[in-house]
């Protein structure tokens, strides 16, 4: 491997977080290679017909210069920018991501990274699906959420037999037309998947542990600036929504990192926890059965096909439910052992907290030169990193650290991070 290769920083992933990291690295004159299929997580693991839960004002991919936001993309297609009362369709967001990539990260290589391991002389050895191998002084892991899809243990053993899946496994839900489908969960992915199943001719039933299913409130106005001064003072707008707690989470991820671990975990679980978007309520209420306050005690395959679920109801009563298929809308849990593109040896060296990498202020793991962004960084920096709007904070931190470590212009990059103190 040439000395030039050994100075590379490698960006792994071409979703919003990977594209943002690459764009900001480029702006600092850090030459880079970026790998992945653009917007693949959104194109291959999100159902057709879904809408983004986040506001149009919070759904732009971060660029170092103005002109590349979602509103700019709408104008490029000859349409006015969306207001808060116009949720963003996934098809539009995918087109936007591809547009962003073509203009801001045209050097993207549509090749998968097969393996990343530590190099004997320092840095990393990167192996591509094409067979190419090269050295890289730093790596930025921006692989998204799919690897962290969580299926409860009581259901997981039926996954291999095709009776159970996760919401991330489906793009086209019309295949379930006419079938009884149990959707587990009370969050956006579960409720929207159930609505899409119903609209595709399936017969969904939602099973939720929560005693109630919660929906957000519709925005009172189409644009935040149209709100009264009193409303803006009492419930200020932020990237995550209205209200001082969300302002704190969206503006203070650097401080969030210093909270005690149990406090961080509590906020990550409860701030913007399981609930449906305001525009989803009419597509759920009264449309299909929603069993609240129920826990799944067992799930067994039936001889003639399908699944029999034993539930414990809200009063401790036993319930039996049959389904042709079960879809887990049970979210995502960061577990570094599921990132198989990192060699087992490299994974063992990364310090963790409850399965997630422990990160510095610059998103660097305990292995120097190894950076994580996106959902993998949420346990460290909070709820902002669960949404597209967190990509800017991460990209700015990582690109600044990488640039400073490499001495500025002329340093090669391949998605990697900085050198902040632990």
* Per-residue pLDDT reduced to its tens digit, 247-304: 888 888 998 898 898 888 888 888 877 899 999 999 999 999 999 999 999 999 999 8
The domain 153-215+275-328 is placed in CATH, from the list 3.30.300.30, 3.50.50.60, 3.30.413.10, 3.40.50.300, at 3.50.50.60
Q: Which residues contact 163 (CB under 8 A, 6 or more apart)?
A: 301, 306, 307, 325, 326
What CA–CA distance (Å, rounded) separates 102 from 96? 10
pTM of the model: 0.91
Of 139-143, 247-251, 399-403, which gets the smallest average pLDDT? 247-251
Q: Which helix (H) or strand (E) holds 298?
A: strand 295-301
Q: How far is CA 47 from the centre of its chain?
A: 14
CATH superfamily of 3-148+332-406: FAD/NAD(P)-binding domain (3.50.50.60)
What CA–CA distance (Å, rounded) separates 184 from 292? 10
Of 31-45, 352-366, 397-411, which gets the smallest average pLDDT? 397-411
Q: Give the CA radius of gyration of the chain.
A: 22
In the predicted structure, residue 243 carries a pLDDT above the cut 90: no
* Per-residue pLDDT reduced to its tens digit, 65-109: 999 999 999 999 999 999 989 999 999 999 999 999 999 999 999
* CATH 3.50.50.60-classified regions of the chain: 3-148+332-406, 153-215+275-328
Question: Residue 172, Cβ neighbours under 10 Å: how many?
Answer: 11
- Give the mean pLDDT of 138-164: 96
Kindly indicate the confidence band of residue 25, based on its pLDDT and cuts at 50, 70 and 90.
very high
Residue located via tokens 């170092």: 64
- Check residue 6 and give its pLDDT: 53
Question: Residue 30, Cβ neighbours under 10 Å: how many?
Answer: 24
**How many residues comprise the chain?**
422
Kindly indicate the confidence band of residue 410, based on its pLDDT and cuts at 50, 70 and 90.
very low
Q: Please say whether the beta carbons of 302 and 160 come within 8 A.
A: no
What CA–CA distance (Å, rounded) separates 6 from 12? 16
């Amino acid at each position: 491997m040439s000395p030039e290769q050994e100075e590379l920083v490698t960006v792994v992933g071409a979703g919003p977080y990977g594209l943002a990291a690459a764009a900001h690295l480029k702006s600092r004159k850090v030459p880079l290679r970026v790998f992945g299929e653009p917007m693949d997580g959104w194109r291959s693991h999100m159902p057709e017909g879904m809408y983004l839960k986040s506001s149009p004002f919070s759904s732009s991919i971060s660029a170092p210069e103005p002109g590349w936001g979602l509103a700019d993309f709408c104008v490029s297609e000859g349409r006015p920018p969306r207001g808060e009362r116009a949720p963003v369709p996934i098809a539009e967001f995918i087109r936007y991501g591809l547009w962003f990539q073509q203009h801001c990260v045209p050097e993207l290589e549509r090749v998968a990274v097969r393996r990343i391991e530590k190099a004997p002389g320092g840095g990393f050895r990167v192996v591509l699906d094409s067979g190419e191998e090269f050295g890289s002084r730093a790596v930025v892991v921006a692989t998204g959420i799919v690897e962290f899809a969580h299926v409860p243990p009581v259901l997981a053993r039926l996954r291999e037999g095709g009776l159970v899946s996760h919401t991330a496994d489906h793009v086209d839900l019309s295949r379930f037309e006419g079938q009884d489908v149990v959707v587990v969960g009370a969050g956006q992915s579960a409720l929207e998947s159930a609505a899409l199943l119903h609209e595709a001719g399936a017969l969904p039933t939602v099973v939720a542990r929560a005693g109630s299913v919660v929906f957000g409130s519709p925005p009172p106005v189409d644009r935040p600036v149209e709100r009264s001064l009193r409303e803006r003072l009492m419930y200020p707008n932020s990237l995550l929504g209205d209200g001082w707690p969300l302002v704190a989470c969206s503006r203070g991820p650097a401080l969030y990192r210093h909270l005690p671990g149990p406090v961080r975990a509590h906020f990550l679980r409860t701030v913007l926890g399981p609930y449906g978007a305001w525009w989803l309520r009419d597509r759920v209420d009264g449309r299909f059965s929603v069993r609240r306050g129920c826990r799944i005690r067992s799930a067994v395959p039936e001889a003639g096909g399908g699944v029999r679920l034993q539930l414990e109801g809200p009063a401790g009563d036993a319930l039996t439910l049959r389904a042709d298929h079960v879809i887990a809308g049970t979210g995502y849990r960061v577990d570094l052992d599921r990132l198989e593109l990192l060699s087992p040896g490299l994974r063992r060296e990364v310090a963790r907290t409850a399965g997630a990498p422990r990160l510095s202020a610059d998103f660097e793991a305990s292995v120097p030169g190894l950076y994580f962004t996106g959902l993998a960084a949420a346990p460290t920096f909070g709820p902002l990193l669960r949404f597209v709007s967190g990509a800017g904070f991460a990209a700015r931190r990582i690109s600044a650290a990488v640039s400073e470590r490499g001495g500025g212009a002329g340093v090669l990059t391949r998605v990697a991070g900085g050198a902040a103190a632990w």
